[in-house]
Chains A and B, each alone.
Chain A
Amino acid sequence: MFPFRAFRFLAPLVREQRPIFLVGIVLILLTSLSQVAVPRLVGLAIQKLESGVGLHLITPIAFAMVGAVLIRGLTSFWTRETVIASSRRIEKKLRDQLYEHISSLDGSFYSKTHTGDLMSRFTSDIEAVRMVFGPAVMYSVQTAFTLIFALSMMIQIDWKLTLYSLIPLGFLTVAIRVIGPKVHKESMRAQEMLSGISVHSQENFANAPVIKAFVVEDAEVERMQRLSHDYFRQNLRIAKLRAISGSAMWLFGDLALVTLLLVGGTRILSGELGLGDFATFNGCQLLLIWPMIALGWVMNLFHRGAASAERLQAILDASPLVDNAQARSDINISEGRVSFDKVSFRYLESERPALEDVSFNLKAGGTLGIVGTTASGKTSLLHLVPRLSPVSSGKILIDGNMLEHYPLGELRAAISMVPQEPFLFSATVAENISFGVDDATHEEIVAVARLVRMDQEIEKFPDGYNQRVGERGITLSGGQKQRLAIARAILQRPRILLLDDVLSAVDSETETAILAGLKDWTRDLTSLIVTHRLSAVTHADEIVVLEDGRIVERGTHQSLLEKKGRYDNLWKKQTIESELEDLE
């Protein structure tokens, strides 16, 4: 009935917790037993009172009740401390495992995965699985035991009455089971609508100048009104389902008491049932209301958890295409020669290749300039070098050896890359610069900061190098972020440096100075520079012009100008801006 198969991959994690779960089950058993004792004892007391025999036993019975509930208190305390705590431990390990796994995945995974989706694997899906191993396990076992104990006691007294009183409680489970998934489905839709509201707000606020310039504030408010209204109606739809299930719970819970009153009462009248047993029945039914609700709820938890588990497994099953399968231990990168031999690359889900038949030879210490239109394959080319994505066909050689022959760690140790969108962590400036180097001294950090011309600006920060940058670096300007990212890259003293249009927010004079400084910092640094600003690559040993993933022009700055082709055209069209800066 339950899709247990979906949880199979979690077996190793669960196995670790198995002894604790077993203890938990014993505890739940004791809990249910002591729980069922209470109505039995109350019934017993009434029996004594009714018959007038053994009245001296009343007080001991009351103490026995308190004793039973004390046991129950202890066992249910330890049940939570074992079962629920175990589920949190499983959750922790699962989350660690997931994190570690996605750290090993390459571009072939990330290019087709939305950050938001991946985030919800980490949040709601893990929580749904956790709910299965925590509350769902706890309540299903508890319900099972309580049902067994309560029912065997009730059947012993009067099996027909048991049957009658069970019917309304059964409906309770069915009601929750039927309405629960509907509520869940509608809630998901409401979530989507809320994120629609969020997107609308986000777009509106982020584009405030345009909204104001076109004087469409009122229309924007109207749009918000429509979205809010839809959301309003959806929430009422959910409220309706909740109201139905709430009333149903109330109805069936009390209906069980009504049935007992009628059927049990009739049997008392015919002398088949004593008031004491009637009381026991009454107590059992009060006791069973919650487990019967829980039963429906737990089933929903299992199904929701199974769906989440499947999504998690899909990610854990994704294996990186980039691995150390062909690694050799006898080679290392000493010079930094890079050559591409008829390299093609295609993203898994796309039909068109991002790079096609790209070849070049770059000597150690040389510079390759890469220019081209947006989406012409420049970034893809850079990503292939540290094997962030795997080559589809062709060969990339470093120091004459195939890329795949270097252990991944060795390869990446020799390479630094600065991505197009400089990425800063919410940590201090110093931590951001030294990210990737274990034992950087303060002097070294200052030295690279000076090299990217950030030292003076950093010293002006209130906390200097210990200044925390906001999440994703919001407190820094675009140029500052770019320069910090470069500082980080060069502190690692790479043999090969990859720059992906990284100085667009820095004026060209500073850019030239920084690029020149890099060569002094590391002798014979091989660099591949993607840029929109041609002045950054005029001194490159070779410049390639990419279009649709193919090299359409190549040569030095001079030779390309003489060709009077695309490069020359670009050069002429370079913005006035950079030249104005040069003038001053």
Chain B
Amino acid sequence: MISRKNDKAEKKKERDDSEDFHVEEVIDRPFSKALAGRLLHYLKPYRLLVASSIILILVNTGLSLIGPLLIKEAVDGPLALPAQGIEERELTGLGQSMADIGAWMGLDPITVGASAADRAQWLWLLVGIYASTLLIQILMRYGETMVLNLTGQNVMRDLRLQVFAHLQKQSASFYHTNPVGRIVTRVTSDVESLNELFTSGFVTLVGDVLAITGIVIMLFWTNSDLALMVLSTAPVLLISTTIFRKFARKHYREVRRRLAHINAFTQESISGMEVIQVCRREKEQATRYSEINGKLRNAHLKSIFWYALFFPTVELLSVVALGIIVVQGGQRIEAGTATFGEFFLFWTYLTRLFTPVRDLAEKYNLLQSAMASSERVFSVLDSDTSLSEGEPHSDEDLAPLNEIRFEGVSFAYDPKTPVLQNVSFSVKKGETVAIVGATGAGKSTIINLLLRFHDPVSGSITLNGADIRESSLVEHRERFGLVLQDVAVLSRTLGENIRFDRDIQRSKILEALEQVNGQDIIARQSQGLDEPMMERGRTLSSGERQLVSFARALAGNPEILVLDEATSHVDTETETRIQAAIDKMVEGRTSVIVAHRLSTVRKADRILVLHHGQLRESGTHDELVSQDGIYAKLVKLQFQSR
């Protein structure tokens, strides 16, 4: 016997374990070539967009380099002090082209004695060029952002549709093993984080690298000596960025984990509030909450530390670089190997160099999250559980239903626990077959196999003598009209819920509703058939939901009606209506009904009694009563209670 003390200790251990909240999904993943290659594949249809975005980025990076050059020209040209020997100035690159432009415009080159008016004209020219590059740039920048987004959004839409369409083909066993919430995440947030990769990841990454390269080249081109001095700070910047990235990542992950935990806890508490209140656990829960909350806060505080450290470090390095310019540049200006203009150029470029370097560190994090998302999305695309099927027939060849036959059919999700064992029966055209049995006897499995949501483990199901595995899925399923116990009312209008995306006219919808005595449902909605339905049809009564699902099945005018009779209790009046509706639907139509009420069963042409996955009795009501088996006992019991 365990002592109480041990018990407590054990409890403590459990508590610690539960605190170590487990997030099922990998949050990030190092950059992988294989994944990236696969992602790039999605860019293929948008080659032109990608190409033009690269061109735009190139042009923009180029244009953004011009501004500081112009300031340099201004400082060294028109704004230079008369004392300085401008005429001796060696005209290089831009300086030369400026002189050419000036000459073309009829401006005299700036010389020692140039008049203020000449200088002003030159200043205006430079400012004019600067302003026009700005105007071109805003258009180009606008274009760049739009093209990038267009690409990202297109890829995201393609991928989302691909995943969704892929999921539509999966067999029911896929939905059996994967929780709905998780699949929804694949289609929504996972695809979403890939969009970020395309819009601000890949291509902007290129932009940042280009900007850095461009600036470095310009610095060297202007004054290689000084550039070398300034860039001596680069290794320190690189190292500190790497360190920051590592720690920021670690804490970011920690924050995400804690956030997931607290959100799960909150959600759970809200849903379970009545239990918490009746069990008087408000205080304990609040204490637990506060603990979790405290951990989240601490995770935040730790990550604040790294950000607080990183930003000033970058700032410090940039000012150290500026200091180098002041000292070294100053000496060179004095010695005549550098100009004031170059000083301004270095200064301005420097402020533009540190931003992309800082951004790169953050973009790497983005890349890692996106890698993890893409891996999850691809794993969905890679698992294929769709069923094999035969070729569709042409319309004329498709024979009307004659007979469906189960022959020695067995089924199991897990080999150890068979759900159906060696079941054989047939349903002929026009017959109504009722299936009765206790929960877990295998009734719903028969429906699942009939509609080919699953394939039998052994045995075969034939329709008009042909194995259903060899016919086309669409053709096979289109023969059926299915009504399940849990009615699927989707959040669209009442009419659309009945039409259910098929090509059915409004008049047919009304007709179907009339057939199941459900006309008054329309009357009760303020917008009639166009009334939007709430999630799960909350605004309808359970009886009305049943009638809607009947109408949905009938509207398609199916050859075979498959019906899982609802057990949920509805009020007497509706119940009578539903019963009447079932009778009307079944009449003259081939039907398979999982029956829960004796009144439905009695009218059937054949009754199948299932027990523990085996077909124990089969026959008409009268036959089975005279057999004195399970069914007979059942009927007796019902009479007794009357």
Q: Which residue of B lies closest to A104 (CB)?
A: B282
- Assess whether A99 is in contact with B269, with CB atoms less than 8 Å apart: yes
Interface hub of B274, B448, B451, B541 (most chain A Cβ within 10 A) = B274
B274 touches A532 (CB 8 A): no
Interface string of A266-282 (1 = CB under 8 A from B): 10111000010011001
> Which residues between 408 and 447 of chain B lie within 8 Å of chain A, taking CB atoms?
436-439
Are A572 and B641 neighbours in the complex by a CB distance under 8 Å?
A: yes
How far is it, in angstroms, between the C-alpha of A185 and the C-alpha of B331 when the chains are bound? 55
- With A213-B477, A214-B556, A228-B160 already in contact, the answer to whether A572 and B130 are too (CB < 8 A) is no
B270 interfacial by beta-carbon distance below 8 Å: yes
Give every chain B residue within 8 A of A525 (Cβ-Cβ).
Answer: none
Cβ–Cβ contact A72 & B436, under 8 A: no
A232 touches B153 (CB 8 A): yes
Q: Are A215 and B477 in contact (CB-based, < 8 A)?
A: yes
Interface residues of B in 71-85 (CB under 8 A from A): 71, 74-75, 78-79, 81
Q: Nearest B residue to A371 by beta-carbon distance?
A: B569
Known contacts A58-B327, A472-B268; A246/B637 CB under 8 A: no
Does A212 reach chain B (CB closer than 8 Å)? yes
B220 lies within 8 A of chain A by Cβ? no
In the docked arrangement, what's the CA distance between A65 and B552, Å?
78
Q: Interface stretch among B100-108, B314-322, B519-527?
A: B314-322
B440 (CB) vs chain A CBs: closest residue: A507
Question: A250 touches which one: B137, B275, B304 (CB < 8 A)?
Answer: B137
Specify the chain B residue showing the minimal Cβ separation from A233.
B153
On chain A, the residues within 8 Å of B480 by CB distance are: 213
Q: Are A435 and B175 in contact (CB under 8 A)?
A: no
User: Contact between A202 and B180 (Cβ–Cβ < 8 Å)?
Assistant: yes
Q: Is the CB of A205 within 8 A of B167?
A: yes
Binary CB contact string for chain B from 307 to 343 against chain A (1 if under 8 A, 0 otherwise): 1110111011001101110110011011000001001
CB-nearest residue of chain B to A436: B279
Most A Cβ at <10 Å: residue of B164, B320, B571: B164
Number of interface residues of A (CB under 8 A): 161
Q: Which residues of B contact A471 (CB under 8 A)?
A: 264, 268
Contact of A210 among B160, B304, B482, B597 (CB under 8 A): B482
Chain A 50-79, CB-CB to B under 8 Å as 1, else 0, gives 100001001101110110111011101111
In the complex, chain B residues whose CB is within 8 Å of the CB of A48? 330
Instruction: Give Cα A258–Cα B74 distance, bound, in whole angstroms.
Output: 11
User: What distance in Å separates the Cβ of B557 from its nearest Cβ neighbour in chain A?
Assistant: 12
Nearest chain-A residue to B138 (Cβ)?
Answer: A247
Instruction: Compute how far the CA of A257 lies from the CA of B491 in the bound complex, rounded to whole angstroms.
Output: 56
Q: Per-position contact with B for A203-217: 1 when CB-CB < 8 Å, else 0?
A: 111111111111111
> Cβ of A77: which chain B residues have Cβ within 8 Å of it?
308-309, 312
Instruction: Kindly state the separation between the CA atoms of A96 and B138 in the bound complex, as whole angstroms.
Output: 47
Contacts of B273 in A (CB 8 A): 102-103, 110
Say if the beta carbon of A128 comes within 8 Å of chain B: no
Chain B neighbourhood of A92, CB < 8 A:
293-294, 296-297
The residue from B131, B347, B569 contacting A258, defined by CB atoms under 8 A apart = B131
Q: What chain B residues lie within 8 Å of A443 (beta carbons)?
A: 1
Count the B residues whose beta carbon is within 8 Å of the partner chain — how many? 161
B626 at the A/B interface (Cβ < 8 Å)?
Answer: no
- Grouping DSSP codes into helix (H, G, I), strand (E, B) and loop, the A interface class, with mixed when no group exceeds half, is helix
B439 CB to nearest A CB, Å: 6
| From B188, B274, B281, contact of A436 by CB (8 A) | B281
Closest residue of A by beta carbon distance from B272: A423
Within 8 A of A (CB), among B258-273: 262-264, 266-273
Asked if A472 contacts B120 (CB within 8 A), the reply is: no
Complex CA gap A255/B542 in Å reads: 67
A220 touches B270 (CB 8 A): no
Interface residues as binary, B501-514 with A (CB distance below 8 Å gives 1, 0 otherwise) = 11000000000000
Q: How far is the CA of A81 from the CA of B1 in the complex (A)?
A: 53
Using A49-B330, A430-B14 as known contacts, say yes or no to A472 and B451 having CB atoms under 8 A apart: no
Chain A residues, CB < 8 A from B323: 62-63, 65-66
Asked if B276 CB lies within 8 Å of chain A CBs, one says yes
Could you list some 30 contacts between A and B, CB below 8 A? A58-B327, A59-B327, A66-B320, A81-B304, A81-B305, A85-B301, A88-B300, A99-B269, A103-B285, A103-B286, A198-B187, A204-B167, A205-B167, A212-B477, A220-B501, A221-B165, A228-B157, A247-B137, A261-B74, A261-B123, A269-B79, A269-B119, A279-B347, A374-B569, A431-B18, A471-B268, A507-B438, A566-B572, A575-B596, A579-B637
10 closest A-B pairs (Cβ-Cβ)?
A436-B279, A219-B501, A73-B312, A239-B149, A243-B145, A80-B308, A69-B319, A213-B482, A62-B323, A217-B168
Q: A202-B184, A220-B168, A428-B18 are in contact. List 19 more A-B contacts (CB 8 A).
A: A50-B340, A58-B330, A80-B304, A99-B269, A99-B286, A102-B270, A203-B491, A207-B488, A223-B501, A242-B149, A258-B130, A261-B123, A265-B123, A275-B340, A416-B279, A442-B2, A492-B279, A577-B438, A580-B436
